[in-house]
Amino acid sequence: MDLSYDDVQQILKIIDASSVEELHLEIGELKLVVRKRGSRAEVTETSADPPRAAATREPVAAAPSGPSRQRRAAEGEFELKAPMVGTFYRAPRPGAPPFVEVGSEVGPDDVVCIIEVMKLMNSITIGRRARIVDILVDNAQLVEFGQPIMIVAPA
Amino acid sequence: MNTVLVANRGEIAVRVIRACRALGLRTVAVYSEADRGAMHTRLADCAVCIGPAAATQSYLSAPALLATARGTGADAIHPGYGFLAENADFAAACVEAGLTFVGPSAEAIRAMGDKVHARERAAALGVPTVPGSRAPVGDTAEAQAVARDVGYPVLLKAAAGGGGRGMRVVRAAGELAAAFAAARAEAEAAFGDGRLYVERFLERVRHVEIQILADRFGAAVQLGERDCSVQRRHQKLLEEAPSPAVTPAIRAAMGESALRLVADIKYENAGTVEFVLDPATDRFYFIEMNTRIQVEHPVTEMVTGVDLVAAQLRLAAGERLPFAQADVTIAGHALECRINAEDPDAGFRPTPGRIARWSPPEGEGLRVDTHVETGAVVPPFYDSLLAKVIAHGRDREAALARMASALARFAVDGVATTLPVHRRILAHQDFVAGGIHTRWVEDELGR
């Protein structure tokens, strides 16, 4: 049996809405492990993203410190959205090399950035193999909940 | 203080943002995904989405709010009412993060947050509390003794109580033994705890509260009372000031009691001391203190001319109270009707949905505090308050006429509202005569 990306999204939604903390699913060769704790960013396909900015009024000003650059994901690319409000960091500590650059290829559990919420460092991963197409937010900027922070492509 | 993060939504967020603007302060609005595009997000200087619709992950998330304050350069947080407004830990966390919490200290919130201790503290200061046993009574004989002291009728109340279970009204000494046994059995069955308190049963009381303002230098004033006796299941529907049942002597005594409590806990900022008033005896009893701005604050603003939210901001910034008790005057009469998205014909079921038409009344002596407009969506996740209609007149009669006319002109399509209930209340002889009590809505207007 094939499990599509959409199937996985469906499973994630069901688990998110339930009180289940962890799920191990094995179907033949395929093995899926989902854990609720931690802070995996949501990856959504832009083409499937409802055009909500157009449908509803946007605030007069977005987050003052770091609005995303208005780069939209092209066909076959995805937006990585901030799973929480907080301060976006590209590197594990000041002066250290960034987790990723444009063009970096990452695995499902590789940390691509940190979002700090009141001194709590939340490591953000993509949850699948991917290539970083663009980084939309500058280091140390406030990101909103749901704000696109990177454009990624499946690798 | 330069930039205020408004940690709330709905009409109170709009109200706080307007007060900030009047004082030249920058504002940061926060919103959940369900409130994207809401009025408060457009009025503020900037707006930040702090989480999904669930309040626990957005408006109740202290980390999200504090991170947003830091990221936007806010140096103060106004909590509004509800959500984190009376959360002492949040107030303390704001201070720890170097932010001004627009409200009292965490210690004052804690002192008044425990209702039993708050009443004990009030009693110790000589502020009247409902007469009764200080501790649970052991047996019928002990209950008899307390009942003799406080006078019949008395209420037997489960120490672990709630929801009316383990409660009995006893009107005469002869009924007490049987009622005691029944209440104890009920309390044991319901809560696994059969301990009972005995207190004076107050029938047909009014809910009257005193608004206070206090600065950090020990100065405090009371701004008269609000009468909130028009309630349905303990939810206030309509408030007015002054109270038709409060005489100048009661007002002075109640105000003095409120200020005694304020001084004792070194309270600072705006607060409300709540009492029940027995109009049969003109006696009043302390119930609790609310350590925040209240929904019904505009009626006090209309009769005193004091902008309470602006006062909160100034006091939080460390300013002194700009006036003394002698400067407080009550002019005319004000009423407030809370218009909720609830269907009175369906047991007051909440009615979230899209507002197809929103046409609030306008005119002299009228004020409508709201976050709603035509096309707005009332999300199902939060409280159902849509608007507060506030009418002011030179006396109660004039204010009532103005309110009745305003409600008649208020047109809302798309969701059912409580407007029809308010129109009925305003037209009801008992209410017009001023002789109602806290159970009047249930008794008179049905469930």
Q: What is the pLDDT of residues B43-65, one digit of tens each?
A: 999 999 999 999 999 999 999 99
Say whether residue A117 is in contact with chain B using an 8 A CB cutoff.
yes
Kindly state whether residues A94 and A143 are assigned to the same domain: yes
Q: Does B328 touch chain A (CB under 8 A)?
A: no
Instruction: Report the pLDDT value the prediction gives residue B191, as an integer from 0 to 100.
Output: 84
Q: State the residue range of the domain holding A7.
A: 1-37
- pLDDT > 70 fraction of chain A, expressed in percent and rounded: 55
Could you give the percent of chain B with pLDDT greater than 90?
89
How close B5 gets to chain A, by Cα (Å)? 13
Identify the pLDDT of residue A9.
61
pLDDT by residue (tens digit) across B200-242?
Answer: 999 899 999 999 999 999 999 999 999 999 999 889 999 999 9
B13 to chain A: which residues are within 8 Å by CB? none
Which residues of chain A have a CB within 8 Å of the CB of B64?
84-86, 117, 145
- pLDDT average, residue stretch A137-150: 95
Of the pLDDT bands very low, low, confident and very high (cuts 50, 70, 90), residue B114 is confident
Res B244 pLDDT > 90: yes
On whether both A91 and A138 belong to a single domain, the answer is yes
Pair (A23, A77) in one structural domain: no
ipTM of the complex: 0.72
Q: What is the pLDDT of residues B164-195, one digit of tens each?
A: 677 899 999 999 999 999 999 988 888 888 88
**pLDDT reported for residue A46:** 36
Residues B11-21: pLDDT tens digits? 999 999 999 99
**Is A129 found in the same domain as A149?**
yes
Q: Are residues A10 and A44 in the same domain?
A: no
A32 shares its domain with A79: no
Residue A29 domain flag: yes
Q: Which residues of B are catalytic?
A: 292
Rounded to the nearest angstrom, the minimum Cα separation between B195 and chain A is 37
A37-41, A60-64, B29-33: lowest mean pLDDT where? A60-64
Cα of B93 to nearest chain A Cα, Å: 10
Residue in A36, A57, A85 to test binding to B, most B beta-carbons within 10 Å: A85
Considering only CB atoms, B46 lies closest to which of A63, A146, A147, namely A63
Q: Say if residue A24 is in the same domain as residue A76.
A: no
In a domain, A27, yes or no: yes
The answer, yes or no, to whether residue A42 has pLDDT greater than 80, is: no
Look at residue B34 in the predicted model and tell me its pLDDT: 95
Q: Do A144 and B50 touch (CB under 8 A)?
A: yes
Residue A14 pLDDT level (bands cut at 50, 70, 90) = low
- Per-residue pLDDT tens for B259-312? 999 999 999 999 999 999 999 999 999 999 999 999 999 999 999 999 999 999
- Residues of B with CB below 8 A from A118's CB? 62-63, 66-67, 97
Residue B333 bridge partners (DSSP): B393
To the nearest whole angstrom, how far is the Cα of A2 from the nearest Cα of chain B? Answer: 31
Same domain for A84 and A128? yes
**Is the residue at A54 inside a domain?**
no
Q: Which residues of B touch A63 (CB under 8 A)?
A: 46-48, 71-72
In a domain, A19, yes or no: yes
Residues A43 and A92 in one domain: yes
pLDDT band with cut points at 50, 70 and 90 for residue A59:
very low
**Are B179 and B170 within 8 A, CB to CB?**
yes
Whether residue A55 lies inside any domain: the answer is: no
- Å between A107 CA and nearest CA of chain B: 27
Number of domains in chain A: 2
Looking at residue A27, what is its pLDDT? 62
User: Given CB atoms, is A60 within the 8 Å cutoff of chain B?
Assistant: yes
- pLDDT for B161 beyond 60: yes
pLDDT of B404 strictly over 80 = yes
pTM: 0.83
Contact B67 A85 (CB under 8 A): yes
Q: Indicate if A13 and A44 belong to the same structural domain.
A: no
Residues of A in contact with B63 (CB under 8 A): 117-118, 120
Q: Is residue A91 part of a domain?
A: yes
Mean pLDDT of B107-126: 91
Identify which of B50, B63, B72 has the shortest CB distance to residue A120: B63
CATH of the domain at A120: 2.40.50.100
Q: What is the pLDDT of residue A36?
A: 59
By Cβ distance, the residue of B33, B52, B63 closest to A118 is B63
Report the distance separating Cα B401 and Cα B392, nearest Å: 10
What are the structural domains of chain B? Answer: 3-102 (3.40.50.20), 140-200 (3.30.1490.20), 206-445 (3.30.470.20)
Residues A16 and A44 occupy one common structural domain? no
Could you report the per-residue pLDDT of A84-132, keeping only the tens digit for each? 999 999 999 989 999 999 999 999 999 999 999 988 899 999 999 999 9
